[in-house]
Amino acid sequence: MTDSETFLESVEEANRTPLSRLGSSKSLYAATEGDIDTEPVLSATADAEHAAWKTFAAWADDEADEEVRDAFERTAEEEREHYETVADRLDDHEPGEVPALHEHLRGLEDTVERLGALVGRILASRRSKEQVIGYFVGDADPQTAQLFRDLKGDLEGQLERATDLLEARCEDDEDWERAEAAASGAIDAAYGEYVETLEGMGANPKPVC
């Protein structure tokens, strides 16, 4: 592996099934614990944005690499804005439990692994945002659907920053392999919680064919 494009393709290929299922309608069912309505959808999204804000702010606080620290700070600020934007649409919001994905991310300390895991988080989050957009399109609420399109658009900038930094920081195949393992680990954490939640509700996590 020699560049960020190859890395991204490899991560997506290795995680094709979990990413596909995280992008299915069942992901919204799991996130809202079966209560797919406007307030639960917004609340679940706000929880995820709040967790992301706090995760990347904590990464920035102890990151020694100045350029990477700046990227984490920028990402944290975007996620804070995302959280406040979504929370403003709720009468009141108290963040819930930290999602398994962010519990996993908060345990990482190595710069290359954090960058790799950030890519994994973005790939998973991109799928969930698509389901939220679809919900509001189906609910005849184009304004809120567009809001989430805008939030999803920020993920593309985050992905570009993360992959550019990986290309500059990965010195050999071993570094790329660590980054890929970290990306897959982040996706696994999100997917594991998705499966556990659905199975706890008596639902099959596999899509209905």
Written as one letter, the residue type at 196 is: E
pLDDT at residue 174 is higher than 70? yes
State the Cα–Cα distance between residues 7 and 1, nearest whole angstrom. 7
Q: Tell me which H or E stretch contains 119.
A: helix 111-138
- The average pLDDT across 17-25 equals 93
Residue in 122, 123, 124, 148 with CA at minimum distance from that of residue 134: 148
- The average pLDDT across 99-112 equals 97
pLDDT (tens digit, 9 = 90+) per residue, 66-76?
999 999 999 99
Q: Are 182 and 120 in contact (CB under 8 A)?
A: yes
Per-residue confidence band for 1, with pLDDT thresholds at 50, 70 and 90: low
Residue that has been written with the tokens 């979504």 in this structure: 86
- CA angle (44, 46, 50) in 5-degree steps: 120
State the Cα–Cα distance between residues 48 and 87, nearest whole angstrom. 11
pLDDT (tens digit, 9 = 90+) per residue, 192-204?
999 999 999 998 8
Per-residue confidence band for 87, with pLDDT thresholds at 50, 70 and 90: very high
Q: Burial level of 150, CB count in 10 A (0-12/13-18/19+)?
A: exposed
Q: Which domains does the chain have, with CATH numbers?
A: 4-200 (1.20.910.10)
